Amino acid sequence: MKRKLILVFVLIISATLFFSCSGAGKDTSDETITKNDTMSTLDTVQERGYLIVGVNASNPGFSYLDSDGKYVGFEADMGRAVAAAVLGDPEKIQYRPLTSKERFAALQSGEIDLLIRTATHTLTRDTDLGLNFTVPYYYDGQTFMVRKDSGIKTIEDLEGASICVLTGSTSEANLSDVMASKNLTYKPVLYENTDELVAAFLAGRADAWTNDRAGFMTRLQTIIDPAVYTILEETISKEPLAMGVRQGDDQWFDIINWTLYGLFFAEEHGITSTNVDKIRNSSKKPEELAFLGMRSDLGAKLGLSNDWAFNMISKAGNYGEIFNNNLSAGSGISISRGFNQPWTEGGLLYAPPFR
């Protein structure tokens, strides 16, 4: 009997020690949260020392890998502007090439900090994906490209046609909607990769290709022969392209939004990479001085240094400079700015007050 009591006592002591060491029997969820889960995106980026941005690797003018292995283009430079604002250096950035199908999952999983990949802001994407989208950085619309000798002049001429489209894109859904609304039959030819889609279209595997107009314009001036192919005049959708961030991090969302607003504001006020230093030291306008960190503490309110906007404009340029460097005649690609100019010039780019 004594031996049994000793054995029971030993077992009780062992069990007590086990549960004490393992933490069993109590809620330790707060203790087992990983460091990344507790850190904001800004903290993660600053501790890492560079920004990770999801982009396209093969969209001329917007984001593509050049012959030197460098990501260049309008969207790539938008990423550099964010890096300059957040880290003070536009080159503290790493790009992740993503397909249309991969892009949102990469952001949701935390593989990237920011998505700048021709992503259209829609209600369902805003509500269903666990993401937030910024103010648009580019206003576009969807149309079709066909061979000039195809005889196709309007959407109605696409009856029974085979049409290339990227899977997982708004182009795919818009195509289905517009063809159904016009009672037109068609055969979708789906691709996940833009390069494969372009190669297939040029090889004659489809009668038409549907995409955003700007994407067609850049390719007609770079890799596709404009003497052979043409773009239909009709536009079938609105495509406001916006940057994406994960929901639940309001500070990071504010930073990315105000970075864009800063690019708009600088162009509207004529603040460029070449004159920003002079304006910072000589401007008499309170809002410009606040924007450039010479008065108030607007940067600190975002969790950034007060010279964040100065760093961004001096090292990456304003919106107009970024556009002209990549999409205007001087870049080798000539796209009309259209809606993508300041509201003071009839466009849709409008920044709230910096105060």
284-335 residue pLDDT tens: 999 999 999 999 899 999 999 999 999 999 999 999 999 999 999 888 899 9
* Over residues 132-145, mean pLDDT: 98
The string of pLDDT tens digits covering residues 154-186 is 999 999 999 999 998 999 999 999 999 999 999
pLDDT value for 207? 98
- Flag whether pLDDT at 206 surpasses 90: yes
d(CA 16, CA 22): 10
Q: What percent of the chain has pLDDT over 90?
A: 84
pLDDT of 38 reads 67
CATH architecture of 41-139+241-333: 3-Layer(aba) Sandwich (3.40)
Domain ranges of the chain: 41-139+241-333, 142-237
pLDDT, tens digit, for every residue of 18-69?
333 333 333 433 433 344 556 899 999 999 999 999 999 999 999 999 999 9
Q: Output 313-316 pairs: Cβ under 8 A, ≥24 positions apart.
A: 313/262, 313/263, 313/266, 313/271, 313/272, 313/273, 313/276, 314/273, 314/276, 314/277, 315/80, 315/84, 315/89, 315/90, 315/273, 316/77, 316/80, 316/81, 316/84, 316/90, 316/273
Model confidence at 271: pLDDT above 50: yes
Give the fold, CATH level 3, of 142-237.
D-Maltodextrin-Binding Protein; domain 2 (3.40.190)
